[in-house]
Amino acid sequence: MSEATPMDPKLGDMPKLDQGASGVGIGNFQEVGPLDTFLKPRNSTWLKKTELLFVDSPVGAGYSFVEDKNLYVKSDEEAALSSLLLNLMVAKSRLAEKIRKQLTNGEYVEATETWMELESMISVNSNSVDFYNFLLDSGMDPLSLTTSEETRKENRLLKKSSADDEGNLDKLMNGIIKRKLKIIPKDLSWGNNSGDVFTAMQADFMRPTIERVDELLAKGVDVTIYNGQLDVICSTSGTEAWVHNHKWEGIQEFKKMDIEPLYCENDRERTRGFTKSFKNLHFYWILGAGHFQHVPVDEPCVALKMVGEIMKSPQL
């Protein structure tokens, strides 16, 4: 995508050059992009009037490709379906920009509400993807809880309908554990007030924490960030960008450090993640894992190794 200087339209209104060929090549360099095939400026570029997003479509055109030739689309309907992700990305960018402005203005409650709108939009356009692990659908993962009130209600109904399932956490906590503790009020159910807690902290949910973390780093406190590759809520690219935005004096050296692969014990055939550290800042990328509490469930071996390194525990 190229950025237009004279105008700043909403991304949702941005023309998407999806022309049944390589928009990245033909549409861009031969037709309406800022440069021609000689890399000379084009005076009539549409970029003077709007932002442009060039798309190679249908799949197979230009740089787009499939690993199995049977996956080539065979109709306009199939080609349209392949563009759903693009439309989702544009809508997501519009809401993300709205969130950015709200955060800049200190409108943290409003930013949280827009984030919830973004979450709902993604859910509608992805057949209810699991926000904590994008390889799953919502409801497939017992650890998954999204933020929107509507989805929380659906999850509560789902829990009630499966209350007799073996290993059900609600049944465990509200059954034998509650009886063993002996001090829990009879009318109090485990997890029943989670929605109220989130609402009470809504103004803090989207509040930036970079300054706080910078302060910890400056004082020499060990700071470890770990991120699951399959997380939608805290995506790996977003988490990495957040880390790079810190003002700590060692951040530039941290950026230069090479990443090191992570393995499960002596199994060197499968890379389970990556890590890098500089002084008291440590970052772990965990492959095949979802949101933070999913990491020890999805990748228990490498998660245990990570905790051992953080705590400087001896090998057992």
Ordered alpha helix ranges (H), the chain? 76-82, 84-104, 108-125, 149-161, 169-172, 178-181, 194-200, 202-205, 210-218, 236-244, 251-256, 295-298, 300-311
Let me know: does 97 contact 104? Beta carbons within 8 Å: no
Based on the residue annotation, tell me whether 246 is a catalytic residue of this protein.
no
Question: Helix (H, G, I), strand (E, B), or coil: what is residue 267?
Answer: strand
Distance (Å, whole) CA 121 – CA 91: 8
**Among residues 141, 231, 282, 294, which one is catalytic?**
231
Based on the residue annotation, tell me whether 93 is a catalytic residue of this protein.
yes
Based on the residue annotation, tell me whether 196 is a catalytic residue of this protein.
no
Task: Give, in order, the Cα–Cα distances in Å from 183 to each of 40, 176, 193, 212, 238.
Answer: 77, 13, 18, 37, 43
Tokens of 158: 């789902």
**Among residues 93, 120, 148, 235, which one is catalytic?**
93
Kindly report whether the peptide bond that precedes residue 58 is cis, defined as omega within 30 degrees of 0.
yes
**Among residues 18, 291, 294, 298, which one is catalytic?**
291
Cα dihedral 132, 135, 139, 144, rounded to 10, equals -20
Task: Give, in order, the Cα–Cα distances in Å from 33 to each of 59, 135, 233, 296.
Answer: 21, 36, 34, 47
Distance (Å, whole) CA 147 – CA 145: 7
Please identify every residue annotated as catalytic: 93, 231, 291
